[in-house]
Structure formats: C-alpha cells, structure tokens
Structure 1
Amino acid sequence: MDRIDRRLLEVLQEDSQASISVLAEKIGLSPSACHRRIKALEDSGIIRGYGARVDAAKVGIGLHVLIDITLVSQSREAMERFERAVGDFPDILECHLLSGTADYRLRTAARDMADFDRLHRECLARLPGVSAMHSSFVIRTVKGWNGFVLGV
C-alpha cells in the first residue's frame, strides 16, 4: 500500500458513493487506474465493505450506552463462551477486549430507557460468566468516528 492507496482510502471514507471519475480526479489518477486500485484494495481485504452512516436520532435511537464487563474468570473457555454469546445478540453493536480493570467494553443503542431495560433483561443479563457490569450513558458525542487517519 502506497501513498496513493492511502489517499484513496481517505477519500472513500469521506464519501464511499463518489463515482470513479470523481475519486480519480481527487486523487490525480485516471479512472481506470483508480478502479484497479479500488479493486485491489477490496480483493486484499483492506476494504471490507461499504455502508451508510445513519442519523440515530432520526430513526428513533436516543440512548447510547457503553458497558464495561468484568468476567468471573479470564480463562480461555470463559472468554470464548462470553464472546460467542455476544455474537448471538444483535443489540450489542460492538464488543472490545480491553486491558485494564474491565475485560470487555460493549456498545449498545436503544430508543429510550425502557428499551434499554428490555435490552438489559433480554440480552446483557444473559451473558455468561459476568461478575460485574458498569453502564455509562453517552450524554453527547463530541467527536464521532468517521474512519481511520492514514497519514497520507
């Protein structure tokens, strides 16, 4: 991956729906060269897919919750069991294995507190091997994630 690929990834993260000709112009390539580079990035797995950024409030999601999880045991089996269970719940949007005091951090979203109560009872409370769970409610997002900075 060279400087041009990094710039191409940066531009795609800004607008993944831009046409090949627009991307090529921004990067300073011919459309065919730009297309070949995008295809190579996709084929190599660097670009894993494309998606839409949805305005959560406009679709009725008003509550974003970060949940720190500590397991009873950090054995391989306990961690694998927990991670498999997390994969079974679509309400869990992200799960990160951490260093520090908590073992995992989950990200969820809900319409409101009643919906989070449902999510807690039907999903979070069913996760295996949990010894402690600490939820933090996002008050306001100051800076959201829009992609990686690749240092072009």
Structure 2
Amino acid sequence: MHHPDLNDDLDRIDLRILEVLSGDGRIAVTELAKKVGLSKSPCQVRLKRLQDEGYIQGFRAILNAAKLGLEHVAFAEVKLTDTTEKALSAFNKAVLQVPEIEQCHMIAGSFDYLLKIRTRDIQSYRRVLGEVISTLPYVGSTSTHVSMQSVKDEAF
C-alpha cells in the first residue's frame, strides 16, 4: 500500500498500521502491534492519533451481497439539466437519501454523475431507476451499464 503522495506526517509504521487495518479492521491491538513491530502502548497511541487526525474514518462490517440477495449491480451515468451549484447541491443531497445507491461520483466528462446501484434483480433496478433516480432533482437523462461480474471491489 505505498502511496508516495500521502501526507508527509505519516511514517512507515503509520502506513503499515493502515495497511494491516484495511485488511482486518477487527484485529486486536496486541496482534496489530506485533505485525508492525511495536509494543502495545505505542501502537495504541498511533492508532488513536490516526483516528483523531481522520486517517481512519471508522470501522464497518463487509456484508455478503449474495447471502443478502443483493447481487445485481448496475452503474448509471446521469446527465443533469442544470449544473449550477444550487442544482448540484440539490442532487447531492437527494442521492444521500437513496439506500440502493451505493456510490455516487461527480464526473468530469460527457455526463455529470456515475452512480453504483445495488438491487435484488433487474426488475428491482428498473423500479429504482424509473421511480427514484429519474425523479431526483435536475436529472435530465440516464444511461445504464449492468455489471456482469465484480473482478475487484475494494474500499480504500
């Protein structure tokens, strides 16, 4: 996990702590300390600092989409009818209220946003697209790309 342009305030041990935690957020501090070559107390101090300074935003469970029946993933390109700050802000706020939208990225290119939408099946997706996404503020048009297989899907 080498990122040469990361903040200079992070040393090799900090980066190793982040790398280990990104693979196992539930690792015990004693085990984490062992993996990064520190004793428990200095490791706890570094861990707290990384959290306090916002390098670690939180810990969460990774859910099994297949077991939950939420394997259908589609990406929707969205073009807005208006791209003033007011319109972008209204769209951004509305997107946060839609649980099926897993990710939303403002895009520099031929469309304005790219949404990652997770549903049970194509019928559920069509419902979400028609009843929810197309009615979001300032949505002019959408274009859908259905994911056939997730080859790599990692959070940073």
- TM-score over 0.5 for the pair: yes
Instruction: Assess if the C-alpha contact under 8 Å between 1:66 and 1:107 holds in 2.
Output: yes
Whole-Å separation in 1 of the counterparts to 2:97 and 2:68? 23
Q: Deviations over 1:84-123 (max 9, x none)?
A: 1112222211111111111111111001112112212331
Are positions 1:74 and 2:67 aligned together?
no
Counterpart residue type for residue 101 of structure 2: I
Hey, what does 2:96 align to over in structure 1? 87
Counterpart residue type for residue 123 of structure 2: A
Instruction: Assess if the C-alpha contact under 8 Å between 2:29 and 2:40 holds in 1.
Output: yes
Whole-Å separation in 2 of the counterparts to 1:29 and 1:97? 41
Hey, what does 2:29 align to over in structure 1? 20
Among 136, 140, 143, which residue is 1:131 paired with? 140
Whole-Å separation in 2 of the counterparts to 1:75 and 1:146? 30
Instruction: Assess if the C-alpha contact under 8 Å between 1:91 and 1:123 holds in 2.
Output: no
Off by >3 Å, runs of 4+ in structure 1: none
Aligned ranges 1:91-110 → 2 under 5 Å: 91-110=100-119
Among 53, 62, 66, which residue is 2:71 paired with? 62
Change (3 A) 1:85 1:146: closer
Counterpart residue type for residue 38 of structure 2: L
Instruction: Assess if the C-alpha contact under 8 Å between 1:92 and 1:107 holds in 2.
Output: yes
Hey, what does 2:41 align to over in structure 1? 32
Among 47, 52, 62, which residue is 1:43 paired with? 52
Instruction: Assess if the C-alpha contact under 8 Å between 1:86 and 1:92 holds in 2.
Output: yes
Whole-Å separation in 2 of the counterparts to 1:56 and 1:104? 24
Of the two structures, which has the highest relative contact order with CA contacts closer than 8 Å and spacing of 6 or more?
1
**DSSP-derived class of the 2:89 partner:** helix
TM-score (norm 2): 0.89
The root-mean-square deviation of aligned C-alpha atoms, in Å, is: 1.1
Report percent identity of matched pairs: 35
Are positions 1:144 and 2:153 aligned together?
yes
Query: Which runs of 5 or more residues in structure 1 are unaligned?
Result: 148-152
Whole-Å separation in 2 of the counterparts to 1:90 and 1:142? 23
Whole-Å separation in 2 of the counterparts to 1:51 and 1:88? 20
Instruction: Assess if the C-alpha contact under 8 Å between 1:8 and 1:27 holds in 2.
Output: yes
Number of aligned positions between the proteins: 147
